[in-house]
Amino acid sequence: MIRGALILYLLILATFGMAINQYPLDTAYHSWETLSDSLLHYHQADRLISDIEIIGNSSAENLPIYAIHIHKSKEINNKKKKIWEHPRPSDLKKVLIIGQHHGEEPIGVEIAMSLTKELTSNSEMQEVVSNYYFVIIPTVNPEAFKIVNSGIYPLKRKNNRDTNQNGELDIKSDGVDLNKNYPSNWEIADLNEAESPYYKGTAPASETEIQAVIALADRFSFDYAFLYHSSANGTYPEMVFFPYNWGSEKSKDWDQMRVMAEWLVSELPCLYKENSYHVYLGETRKYGYARDYLYRNYNTLSFTIETSAVTPSGVSHFLPNNRDLKLIVEKHTSALINLLRNIKPK
Ligand SMILES: [Zn+2]
């Protein structure tokens, strides 16, 4: 028993890198319980600048998917209606922030919660919350969030759909990769292996989590979307992607998104290297990505932000301890707010 535990421990060290990643997660990460508690705490009803909405539920366990709407306007002067039910000027810019699609990428949830705290609580944000309408979804994948953040399994990526239909949850293989399930190029993506971490599901938008995001996007036609990720295998360290470069075809707003992405990375120093984050300019894949779906359907200028670093020895730093998490979360919070303060209307 002890020997078995020791071997498991050594295996985890070898897999995640000693002293680089910490699992179970360090104390600063939210649990499923404290996530909703913190949202309620940041939402101060009397200030009339935020409202919490459950935009849908998860596919296997029916867990709520929380969104917080944040906006300040003199039109919003009573509690009888929710913030989203009040009239909005047609030129008000709407921003979608999604902290997490993949369970093993917990950093983005903390960035989303930090942005929520800053926008709802910091009096210096009055102008930003007046100039933009924010919808922040800390996680669209509550099933995987619960498993990773409660210390059960660090690499749970997909939702809990019983993809092999054996009537139980196979934690390492069941589920659909939610960021491959959007109805954009879904048909042509070769991701049909149900056991694969990148399994796209049985149909476009088969997952209720993705149906919830689509219904929200239909209501708001967001101007901007910021989608946080942190690749566990270290493939995309400290990078920003935007739609799309399919070789022979680039999105018509490619240049504008490139300028915004360059601006964003200029505020994002790498954790280990001297330089800043890197804007990806090469060819992008035709998968059912959120960013492609949002851009192609609503002309939303969309950014995938990969927040995990790779150490000089090549280990992916995707489950940082409290100290490094704080550094990462703080720079992303200020970089995004500074970008929104500086971008020109499209
Ligand atoms: Zn991801």
Contact 297, 220 (CB under 8 A): no
CA distance readout (Å), 286 to 191, 228, 243, 289, 300? 11, 19, 10, 8, 17
Distance 97 CA to ligand 1 centre (A): 14
Q: Please tell me the predicted confidence (pLDDT) of residue 206.
A: 98
Yes or no: say if 231 and 101 are a contact pair by the CB < 8 Å rule.
no
Among 346, 337, 344, smallest CA distance to 134 is for 337
What is the reported pLDDT for 344? Answer: 57
Whole-angstrom distance, CA of residue 164 vs CA of residue 149 = 24
Q: For residue 16, how far is its CA from the centre of ligand 1 (angstroms)?
A: 17
In terms of C-beta density within 10 A (0-12 exposed, 13-18 middle, 19 or more buried), how is residue 50 classed?
buried
Separation of CA 126 and ligand 1 centre (Å): 31
Residue 132 contacts residue 94 (beta carbons within 8 Å):
yes
Query: Pairing state of beta strands 278-279 and 224-229?
Result: unpaired
- Residue ranges, the chain, pLDDT below 70: 1-19, 344-346
Number of domains observed in the structure of the chain: 1
Helix (H, G, I), strand (E, B) or coil at 87: coil
Q: Determine the pLDDT at residue 346.
A: 44
Task: Give the DSSP H/E element, type plus range, for residue 107.
Answer: helix 107-121
Task: Specify the pLDDT at position 79.
Answer: 85
If you measure from the C-alpha of residue 316 to the centroid of ligand 1, how many angstroms do you get, rounded to a whole number? 13
Q: Tell me how far the alpha carbon of residue 1 lies from the centroid of ligand 1, in angstroms.
A: 35
Beta pairing, strands 224-229 & 93-98: parallel
CA 102 – ligand 1 centroid, Å: 5
User: Sign (positive/negative) of CA torsion 155, 147, 184, 309?
Assistant: negative
Task: Identify the bridge partners of residue 318 per DSSP, sorted by sequence position.
Answer: none
Taking Cα atoms as reference points, which of 32, 161, 168 lies closest to residue 100? 32
Q: What is the CATH number of the domain that holds 204?
A: 3.40.630.10
CA 190 to centroid of ligand 1, rounded, Å: 18
309-318 core/surface letters (b: 16 or more CB in 10 A; e: else) = bbbeeebbbb
Structural domain containing residue 318: 2-342
Q: What is the pLDDT of residue 345?
A: 47
Tell me the C-alpha distance between 300 and 94, whole Å. Answer: 9
For residue 77, the CA-to-ligand 1 centroid distance in Å is 39
Convert the pLDDT of each residue in 267-317 to its tens digit. 999 999 999 999 999 999 999 999 999 999 999 999 999 999 999 888 999
- Give the residue among 113, 287, 259 at the shortest CA–CA distance from 200: 287
Question: Cα of 9 to ligand 1 centre, how many Å?
Answer: 26
